[in-house]
Chains A and B, each alone.
Chain A
Amino acid sequence: METSPSQSYLNSHTSPKWTGGFMSWFMSTDHKRIGVMYAVAMFSFFFVAVLLGFVMKLQKMYPASSGWEIIPVELYGSFFTLHAIIMIFLFIVPGAPAVLGNFFLPLQIGAKDVAFPRVNLLSFWLYLLGAIMAVVGILLGGADTGWTFTPPYSINTKTISIFGVVFDSISWMLTAAFILGWGTILTGINFIVTIHRMRAKGMGYFKMPLFTWSIYATSWLQVLATPVVGITLLMIVIERIMPVGFFDPSKGGDPILFQHLFWIYSHPAVYIMILPSMGLVSEIIPTNSQKPIFGYKSIAIASCSIAGVGYLLWAHHMFTTGMSDFAAILFSFLTFFVAIPTAIKTFNWTATLYKGSITLTPAMLFALAFIFNFSIGGLTGMFLGSLSTDIHLHDTAFVVAHFHYTMFGGAAFGLIGGVFHYFPKMFGKMYSMKWAKAAFAFMFIGFNALYFPMLVLGYYGMPRRYHTYPDMPIFNDLQMASTLGSWILVTGVIMVFGVWIHALIKGKQTTEINPWNSSTLEWQTATPPTLFNFEEDVEITRDPYDYEAFRGEVKAGTSAGAKNV
Chain B
Amino acid sequence: MNVNYNPASVFNQDVDFTFYLIFIISILCLVGITGFMIFSVIKYSRKNNPTPSNLEGHTGLEIVWTIIPTILVMFIFYFGMQGFLKMRNVPEDAMEIKVDAGMWWWKFTYPNGLEQNTAQGLTVPADTPIYLPLHSVDVIHSFYIPAFRVKMDVVPKAAGAKDNYTWFEASQIGDFDLFCAEYCGLNHAQMITKVHVLTKPDYQAWLEEQSAGFIKQQAENPGLALITSKACFACHSSDGTKLVGPSFKGLYGKTEVVVTNGEEREITVDDAYLKTAIMEPSKDIVKGYQPLMPPMPLTADEVQAIIDHIKELSE
Chain A residues with CB under 8 Å of chain B are 64, 73-74, 77, 144, 146, 150, 152-153, 156-158, 160, 166, 249-256, 289-292, 294-298, 319-322, 325, 328-329, 332-333, 336-337, 339-340, 343-344, 346-348, 350-351, 353-360, 368, 371-372, 375-376, 379-380, 382-383, 385-392, 394-396, 459-461, 463-474, 543, 545-548
B254 within 8 A of A: no
B44 interface neighbour in A292, A353, A463, Cβ under 8 Å = A353
Most buried by A among B37, B45, B149, B183: B183
A360 interface neighbour in B3, B41, B152, Cβ under 8 Å = B41
* CB of B191, distance to nearest CB on chain A (Å): 9
Most buried by B among A166, A252, A388: A388
A153→B73 contact, CB < 8 A? no
B93 within 8 A of A: no
B41→A387 contact, CB < 8 A? no
Q: 18 A-B pairs, CB-CB below 8 angstroms?
A: A144-B185, A150-B183, A153-B139, A158-B292, A249-B155, A294-B57, A296-B57, A298-B62, A320-B142, A322-B165, A328-B84, A332-B84, A351-B61, A360-B41, A387-B81, A388-B18, A391-B84, A463-B179
B15 within 8 A of A: yes
A144 to B183, CA, bound (A): 9
The A/B interface has a contact count, at CB < 8 Å, of 285
A150 to B14, CA, bound (A): 31
* CB of B11, distance to nearest CB on chain A (Å): 7
B41→A325 contact, CB < 8 A? no
Given A160-B290, A350-B33, A469-B189, check contact A153 B85 (CB 8 Å).
no
A375→B29 contact, CB < 8 A? yes
* CB of A79, distance to nearest CB on chain B (Å): 13
Which chain A positions have C-beta within 8 A of B65? Answer: 343-344, 347
B41→A386 contact, CB < 8 A? no
A395→B186 contact, CB < 8 A? no
A339 to B50, CA, bound (A): 35
A470 interface neighbour in B1, B5, B37, B292, Cβ under 8 Å = B1
A346 to B32, CA, bound (A): 11
Given A340-B66, A376-B30, check contact A392 B84 (CB 8 Å).
no
B189→A357 contact, CB < 8 A? no
Given A291-B55, A350-B37, A389-B15, check contact A156 B44 (CB 8 Å).
no
* CB of A34, distance to nearest CB on chain B (Å): 35
A385 to B26, CA, bound (A): 14
Kindly list 6 other residue pairs between chains A and B, CB separation below 8 angstroms, not including A166-B262, A321-B153. A74-B186, A359-B46, A385-B76, A396-B146, A461-B144, A466-B188
* CB of B46, distance to nearest CB on chain A (Å): 5
B180 within 8 A of A: yes
B52→A547 contact, CB < 8 A? yes
B187→A392 contact, CB < 8 A? no
Closest to B144 in A: A463
B73→A256 contact, CB < 8 A? no
* CB of B105, distance to nearest CB on chain A (Å): 16
A375→B30 contact, CB < 8 A? yes
Given A73-B187, A347-B65, check contact A379 B44 (CB 8 Å).
no
Which chain B positions have C-beta within 8 A of A144? Answer: 183, 185-186
Which chain B positions have C-beta within 8 A of A547? Answer: 52, 54
B112 within 8 A of A: no
B290→A158 contact, CB < 8 A? yes
Which chain B positions have C-beta within 8 A of A348? Answer: 57, 62
A371 interface neighbour in B33, B87, B192, Cβ under 8 Å = B33
Chain B residues with CB under 8 Å of chain A are 1, 3, 5, 11, 14-15, 18-19, 22-23, 25-26, 29-30, 33-34, 36-37, 40-41, 44-46, 49-58, 61-62, 65-66, 69-70, 73-74, 76-77, 79-88, 138-140, 142, 144, 146-147, 149-153, 155-159, 161, 164-165, 177, 179-189, 192, 262, 290-292
* CB of B267, distance to nearest CB on chain A (Å): 21
Which chain A positions have C-beta within 8 A of B142? Answer: 320, 395
Which chain B positions have C-beta within 8 A of A385? Answer: 76-77, 80
Which chain A positions have C-beta within 8 A of B56? Answer: 292, 294-296, 543, 545-546
A77→B186 contact, CB < 8 A? yes
A301 to B45, CA, bound (A): 30
A160 to B11, CA, bound (A): 41
Given A292-B54, A344-B62, A380-B26, check contact A152 B156 (CB 8 Å).
yes
A461→B179 contact, CB < 8 A? yes
A543 to B56, CA, bound (A): 11
* CB of B70, distance to nearest CB on chain A (Å): 6
Closest to B29 in A: A379
Which chain A positions have C-beta within 8 A of B30? Answer: 372, 375-376, 379
A150→B140 contact, CB < 8 A? yes
Which chain A positions have C-beta within 8 A of B155? Answer: 249, 255-256, 321-322
A463 to B146, CA, bound (A): 9
Closest to B53 in A: A355
* CB of A185, distance to nearest CB on chain B (Å): 29
Closest to B20 in A: A389
A146 interface neighbour in B156, B161, B183, Cβ under 8 Å = B183
Most buried by A among B15, B26, B54: B54
B83→A388 contact, CB < 8 A? yes
Which chain B positions have C-beta within 8 A of A339? Answer: 69, 73
Which chain A positions have C-beta within 8 A of B159? Answer: 252
Which chain B positions have C-beta within 8 A of A74? Answer: 186
Which chain A positions have C-beta within 8 A of B74? Answer: 336
B69→A322 contact, CB < 8 A? no
Closest to A145 in B: B183
Which chain A positions have C-beta within 8 A of B180? Answer: 463
B52 interface neighbour in A321, A357, A375, Cβ under 8 Å = A357
A368→B80 contact, CB < 8 A? no
A470→B192 contact, CB < 8 A? yes
B45→A358 contact, CB < 8 A? yes
* CB of A232, distance to nearest CB on chain B (Å): 16
A358→B153 contact, CB < 8 A? no
B40 interface neighbour in A156, A343, A353, A543, Cβ under 8 Å = A353
Given A158-B291, A332-B80, A358-B44, check contact A470 B188 (CB 8 Å).
no
A388 to B20, CA, bound (A): 12
Given A253-B158, A255-B156, A467-B189, check contact A386 B18 (CB 8 Å).
yes
B19 interface neighbour in A153, A355, A371, A389, Cβ under 8 Å = A389
Closest to A325 in B: B88
A360 to B45, CA, bound (A): 8
B19→A73 contact, CB < 8 A? no
A545 to B57, CA, bound (A): 12
